[in-house]
């Protein structure tokens, strides 16, 4: 097994072993960038490169990646947009093309007034623990965290933008998630800087789910069941796990 060495100003250290990817990352870039990973010629010549996570941690940005997002909102919005509804929580993580984790976070709860919480639909009030009659939030649930948060929507947008552009080149990230077009409707309005740094395409796991249900019912019966926790990072992890299942179950090697 070949190993890479990372060169520092004051020496070297062993890095994790490289392994085979179906899609080769740009080895020449990895060699030339300051602080990048050195890939032995014999290793690169056989299509062996560092993992996407290792590549990103070197300081280089991935040319493309899946940017997984899940949002919790006050409601489902109106026709064509969020309408009176808004974002309560957003979580994001990044994977490579083969669904290997590159980086996780942030998971951000946004501050809103009691009046905004009053405007939630009945399902959200129950799920997120808000009593609009007594103005009481159940401790530890999302409504309680919304009241305690100090983060504004503008700060949320900046956090998401800085996180993604730290690891992925501009326009190289494709938004991914379950029924993620709904999340994008809210992100378009409240997090435009974040959305504008992404590619215009999306990867919607619910599309794959519906096709699998119709065309591969036997495999679909084995798909992982959702826990329906309805917290942003939990839902992302479930979506990622679900797509990983479909990748192995219905897509040929």
CA angle 4/102/94 to nearest 5° reads 160
Pairing of strands 65-73, 173-177: parallel
Question: What token pair was written down for 219?
Answer: 């495999």
Q: What's the pLDDT score for residue 7? A: 28
Comma-separated ranges of CATH 3.30.420.10 domains in the chain: 65-111+149-250
DSSP classification of residue 161: H
> Three-class SS string for 195-213?
HHCEEEEEEEHHHHHHHHH
In tens digits, what is the pLDDT along the chain, a chain of 253 residues?
A: 333 323 223 333 333 333 333 343 443 333 333 333 333 333 333 333 456 666 666 678 999 999 999 999 999 988 778 999 999 999 999 999 999 999 998 999 999 999 999 999 999 999 999 999 999 999 999 999 999 999 999 999 999 999 999 999 999 999 999 999 999 999 999 999 999 999 999 999 999 999 999 999 999 999 999 887 789 999 999 999 999 999 999 997 7
d(CA 250, CA 214): 12
Residue of 3, 181, 199, 230 marked catalytic: 230
Q: What's the pLDDT score for residue 5? A: 29
Q: What is the per-residue pLDDT across 86-128, written as a single tens digit (0 to 9) for each?
A: 999 999 999 999 999 999 989 999 999 999 999 999 999 999 9
Q: What's the pLDDT score for residue 1? A: 34
| CATH no. for 65-111+149-250 | 3.30.420.10
The pTM of this model reads 0.78
Burial of 22 (0-12, 13-18, 19+ CB in 10 A): exposed
3 assigned to active site: no
Alpha carbon dihedral 22, 23, 27, 29, in 10-degree steps, equals -160
* C-beta of residue 112 within 8 angstroms of C-beta of residue 99: no
């Amino acid at each position: 097994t070949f190993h890479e060495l990372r060169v520092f100003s004051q020496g070297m250290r062993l890095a994790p072993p490289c392994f085979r990817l179906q899609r080769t990352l740009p080895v020449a870039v990895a060699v030339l960038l300051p602080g990048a990973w050195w890939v032995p010629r014999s290793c690169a010549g056989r299509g062996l490169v560092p993992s996407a996570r290792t590549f990103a941690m070197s300081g280089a940005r991935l040319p493309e990646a899946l940017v997984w997002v899940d949002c919790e909102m006050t409601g489902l919005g109106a026709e064509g947009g969020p309408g009176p509804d808004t974002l309560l929580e957003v979580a994001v993580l990044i994977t490579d093309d083969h669904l290997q984790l590159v980086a996780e976070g942030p998971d951000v709860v946004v501050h809103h007034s009691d009046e905004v919480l009053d405007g939630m639909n009945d399902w959200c009030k129950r799920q997120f623990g808000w009593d609009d009659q007594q103005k009481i939030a159940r401790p530890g649930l999302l409504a309680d965290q919304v009241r305690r948060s100090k983060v504004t929507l503008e700060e949320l947008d900046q956090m998401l933008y800085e996180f993604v552009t730290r690891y992925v080149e501009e326009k190289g990230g494709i938004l991914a998630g379950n029924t993620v077009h709904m999340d994008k409707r809210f992100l378009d309005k409240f997090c435009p800087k974040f959305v504008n740094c992404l590619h215009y395409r999306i990867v919607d796991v619910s599309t794959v789910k519906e096709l699998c249900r119709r065309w591969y019912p036997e495999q679909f019966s084995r798909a992982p069941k959702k826990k329906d926790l309805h917290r942003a990072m939990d839902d992302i992890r479930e979506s990622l796990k679900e797509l990983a299942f479909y990748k192995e179950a219905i897509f040929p090697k």
